[in-house]
Amino acid sequence: MEFSIDDKTQTILEMIREFMEKEVYPREVQFLGKTMAEMKPLFEEGRQKVRQMELYSPQLPKELGGVGIGFMGYALCCEEIGKSPIGPNLFGSQAPDAGNIEILAKFGNDEQKEKYMWPLIKGETQSCFSMTEPELAGSNPTRLACTAEKDGDDYVINGHKWFTTSADGADFAIVMAVTNPDEPSPYLRASMIIVPTDTPGFDLVRNISVMGHAGDGYGSHGEIMYRDCQVPQSNLLGPEGQGFVIAQERLGPGRIHHCMRHIGIAQRCLEMMCKRAAEREVSEGKTLATKQIIQAWIAECAAEIHGSRLMVLHAAWKIDTQSAYEAREEISLIKFTTANMMLKVIDRAIQVYGGLGMTDDTILSYFYRHERASRIYDGADEVHKVVVARRILRKYQEGGKA
């Protein structure tokens, strides 16, 4: 086991830390509480600075205009960038664009890369990923009602989607639709199809109001009707019927991004908690930091953050050295562990801040509202727990043959 971080990654992490401390945290209040449309000029300004430092898109290799530090390096960057809700937008690693770039790079043809991937990499366009449907349980995404039927050289898409993050203002959606309904395996029935949002029949019904989320632009979650929405068959991403295989490729690295972001948030809350405890006098000459119950919280939070970080880095290492498929148990473990750990740390930090913790004068209340969704998206806690337990139990149920 090797825990050291190479010099190049260390330098990049220090540059990101310095940028976050100087440029991002002090200006957070300018951003928060605003609509994404209002934040756009501020994002552009910040992105310019990040580009000048050659730190834009740490998730991408150099040939795609990224930083080129590999997957493990990127995982470490996610912790630093994720300490502020605006970090990923400034560094060009925001979901769902980052995941969409990855699958376009891996499965897109030359024309799709030219038309959709490059403008997304350059930050000129916005994208979304449209899979979950209101009428069917999103926890089992093999059950989709949305269809894409062939008509001449086109696909005609009909379906109802919701929670399509960043749909408002998106230039295109990657839509998961059933193209092979007669395929015996439910995992081989759906395909991913690129749908420009100005296609007739693409109807953004509303931006769903989600607790703690901005509600427009990148922060939107759209309900969309696809009504006889016709796109050329050349908009198929990867082979037909391979939608789930591609989704797996997208979700593995995507979960590392989210989980390291959770660790970044937890670490920042712990640092804020310690600062407040050390400064806040509760009786003559005695600060909160002198109280054993607060000390115990600080120690527990530090231990839980450290344990979670090691788990995520191990999962990232397994994806990097083997594959997202081989690492699926580790990915499930980290998904529910880091989300719950983060929410517990945020809650304790708010408690230490007392009434101030409930206000929007600090970032804590924003994190509390915004991050509750982390136990639901990318697979609810319970679904991941079932995956892990099923694999563990198999060897007992099948006489040690797992």
Ligand X SMILES: Cc1cc2nc3c(=O)[nH]c(=O)nc-3n(C[C@H](O)[C@H](O)[C@H](O)COP(=O)(O)OP(=O)(O)OC[C@H]3O[C@@H](n4cnc5c(N)ncnc54)[C@H](O)[C@@H]3O)c2cc1C
Q: Which residues bind ligand X (CB under 6 A)?
A: 96, 129-132, 137-139, 163-165, 210, 221, 373, 376-377, 380, 382-383, 386
Q: Which is nearer to ligand X, 61 or 134 (CB)?
A: 134
Q: Which is nearer to ligand X, 165 or 362 (CB)?
A: 165
Query: Minimal CA–CA distance to 364: which of 374, 352, 381, 373?
Result: 352
Q: Rounded distance, CA 290 to CA 280, Å?
A: 10
Least spacing, CB of residue 335 vs ligand X, in Å: 11
Q: Which is nearer to ligand X, 91 or 218 (CB)?
A: 218
Q: Which is nearer to ligand X, 79 or 378 (CB)?
A: 378
Least spacing, CB of residue 229 vs ligand X, in Å: 16
Least spacing, CB of residue 55 vs ligand X, in Å: 25
- Whole-angstrom CA distances from 237 to 63, 81, 108, 265, 366 are 21, 30, 6, 34, 36
**Strand pairing partners for 283?**
286
Q: Which is nearer to ligand X, 145 or 383 (CB)?
A: 383
Least spacing, CB of residue 4 vs ligand X, in Å: 36
Least spacing, CB of residue 70 vs ligand X, in Å: 26
Taking a C-beta distance cutoff of 8 angstroms, is the pair 158, 228 a contact? yes
Q: Which is nearer to ligand X, 131 or 388 (CB)?
A: 131
Least spacing, CB of residue 77 vs ligand X, in Å: 22
Q: Which is nearer to ligand X, 69 or 177 (CB)?
A: 177
Q: Rounded distance, CA 258 to CA 78, Å?
A: 8
Least spacing, CB of residue 137 vs ligand X, in Å: 3
- Whole-angstrom CA distances from 249 to 281, 319, 378 are 51, 10, 13
**Strand pairing partners for 259?**
none
Least spacing, CB of residue 175 vs ligand X, in Å: 9
Q: Cβ–Cβ contacts within 10 Å for residue 54, how many? A: 12
Least spacing, CB of residue 221 vs ligand X, in Å: 5
Q: Which is nearer to ligand X, 221 or 318 (CB)?
A: 221
State the residue number with the nearest CB to ligand X. 138
Q: Which is nearer to ligand X, 222 or 241 (CB)?
A: 222
List, in order, residues 6 or more apart from 140 with CB less than 8 Å away: none
Taking a C-beta distance cutoff of 8 angstroms, is the pair 368, 351 a contact? no
